Amino acid sequence: MVGGLDDELLFGPEDSAVTVATPQRPSGLPWPVLVVDDDPQVHAMTAVLLRDFDFDGRPFEVVSALSAEEAKAVLARRPDLPIALLDVVMETEDAGLKLVRHIREELGNHRMRIILRTGQPGQAPERDVIVGYDINDYKAKSELTAQRLFTTLVSALRAWRDIVTIERNRQGLERILSASAPLFEMRPMRSFVQRLAEQIARVVDHGAAPAVLACRPVARADGGLTDEIVAGLGPFAGSIGMPVGDVLTATAAAEVATALATQSNLYSDDHCVLVFRTREHGVTVFRLERTEPYVADEHRLLELFCNRVAIGFDNVCLYEELMALNRSLEQRVEDRTLELAANQKALILAKERVERALERELLARDQQRQFLGMVSHEFRTPLAIIDSAAQLLAMRAGQVEPEMLERLAVIRGSVQRLTGLIDSHLTDERLQSNALVVERAEIDLPDLIRTVVQPFRVAYPDREFRLTLDRLPPRAEIDANLIGLVISNLVNNALKYSGPGGPILLSGDTDGAMAVIEVTDHGRGIPEVELPRLFDRFFRGTGASGVPGTGIGLHTVQQIALLHGGAVAVDSVPGKGSTFRIVVPV
């Protein structure tokens, strides 16, 4: 573009803004700055101004291009240029903007910091350009003084340097990931360490012939420890199994010993010593050698690699321990198999003994069933005769000798209790063998309860029985014999576990289609901890001490209620009494 007033203002003086040039020019490698402008004076003035500036001990160098096409040729030769100062209007009105697209999209160069400067801001408005193009700064030549140019370049260089560092670290991390993945597939310890030495040389560039050795303390025959080389590359490949002192110089061996003792990394100009720590399996030291010094970023990459593969090292150690345990386990399994074979023989013999015992038990239960049947048959007839005789005597005694009535009542009550005991045992036996069948028939439920209670009135003339049955349904379709046995068992329990002066209360109610019968006493009550087991077969609580019984009565009550489609429940307060509640459908 043609020079004019804007170009003069672009590099016009700014009071006390320009840094005075130092007498001695920095000797470091210069920072290259690509200047793309069609005005040769802009190139000359930029070179003059940047001659007096330096950054980080390095001067600036102007790389000139008088057109966008010439800039493309320069970038093809030098793709690593950090900064470009681009004019917008050159061979065409948008040549600079097209060059930006070429750099970002065609070359794929996103590291270069592009500073767009123009003498005609109206030709390329700042807002449109900064949004539509991937540039890093926008300056008008009229405002870009020498000091602002320097500030802009230093800011751009720092950003470029950070991006390069990030890319270098990313590439290092990719090498770490690609190098560490195969390590987790290794199993034998020696193969793992050898492969680890190969991969650690790839994390940072060691050239075509890396020099790497790995060593760790190894137990000697006398019980002591010696630092032995366990893996090696390059000149150390043939030193595996040798002591470190026989391979390295005295100074290098001392560095290895210091690293093992302090467990800290050592870095020098031409080598580094890395300490490879694991949680449970000791320390391994790697010594890497190369001609170039290791920079701080490489230090971090190497330490990160060591930390990452430490898990793999532990896994290999655990694998070897697992293999040893597996061999031990196989031996134990073999021994255990022999033991199980012997136990199996013993188990077969025990099974045969149990089967014989079971046969004897089944035979005994069959004999018990036959005995109960015989008792029921043989005892009922005499008991019926005794009861009939007692009734006849009672009718005559009422006319001749009234004082005998009381004794005859005791005889009839005893006969009825004995008959009830036989019925309870027979019912329990049928329940256990699933032979009990409910024979439903429509009966007068209140009359059934009165009939069951009447013998108890006779047998216990000194006890009070209170019946409140008005709210019961007058008719119910139930098994009269089984429900009568239920009420008899509950009344009998109320008599046994209550004092001689306490009344026995029997009440009835209706709950929808269900009849509710309650038997209440004012006796000793039942402890709360015993309530869950109260209806278990043969269970007798602590309050049953000294009271005759078999422990099957309440179990029989519950089973009969369930057979009728009902339920049984109990409320009890120790020292105040208990209430048993039977619910059966009508």
Using a cut of 0.95, tell me whether the model's pTM lies above it: no
| pLDDT above 90: residue 387 | no
Cβ–Cβ under 8 Å, residues 242 and 228: yes
Tens digit of each residue's pLDDT (9 = 90 or more) over 93-111: 888 888 888 888 888 888 8
Q: Which SS3 state, helix, strand or coil, does residue 549 take?
A: coil
Query: CA-CA distances (angstroms) from residue 481 to 356, 418, 555?
Result: 39, 16, 17
Cβ–Cβ under 8 Å, residues 522 and 498: yes
Q: How far apart are CA 317 and CA 324, in angstroms?
A: 11
Residue type, 51: R
Please choose, from the candidates 66, 157, 67, 164, the residue with its C-alpha nearest in 3D space to the C-alpha of residue 111.
164
Query: Which whole number is the average pLDDT over 463-489?
Result: 87
Cβ–Cβ under 8 Å, residues 227 and 260: yes
Cβ–Cβ under 8 Å, residues 489 and 554: yes
Fill in the DSSP letter of residue 102.
I
Q: Helices then strands (H, E): number in the chain?
A: 14, 18
Q: How far apart are CA 350 and CA 352, in angstroms?
A: 5
In the prediction, which pLDDT does 203 show?
Answer: 66
Q: How far apart are CA 103 and CA 83, in angstroms?
A: 12
Q: How far apart are CA 406 and CA 554, in angstroms?
A: 31
Within 10 Å of residue 536's Cβ, how many Cβ atoms?
A: 12
Query: Which whole number is the average pLDDT over 560-580?
Result: 88
Tens digit of each residue's pLDDT (9 = 90 or more) over 247-285: 888 888 888 888 888 888 888 877 888 887 765 567 888
Element (H, E) at 320: helix 296-397
Lowest mean pLDDT among 74-78, 162-166, 225-229, 397-401: 397-401
Residue 495's Cβ-side half-sphere holds a number of Cα atoms within 13 Å equal to 20
Query: For the chain, how far is it from start to end, CA to CA, in angstroms?
Result: 114
Q: pLDDT band for 516, please (50, 70, 90 cuts).
A: very high
In the prediction, which pLDDT does 509 show?
Answer: 92
Rg (CA), the chain: 54
| pLDDT above 70: residue 7 | no
Tens digit of each residue's pLDDT (9 = 90 or more) over 316-337: 667 767 777 888 888 888 888 8
Q: How far apart are CA 233 and CA 287, in angstroms?
A: 10
Can you list the domains of the chain with their CATH numbers?
5-176 (3.40.50.2300), 186-294 (3.30.450.40), 438-585 (3.30.565.10)
Query: Which whole number is the average pLDDT over 498-507?
Result: 84
In the prediction, which pLDDT does 519 show?
Answer: 92
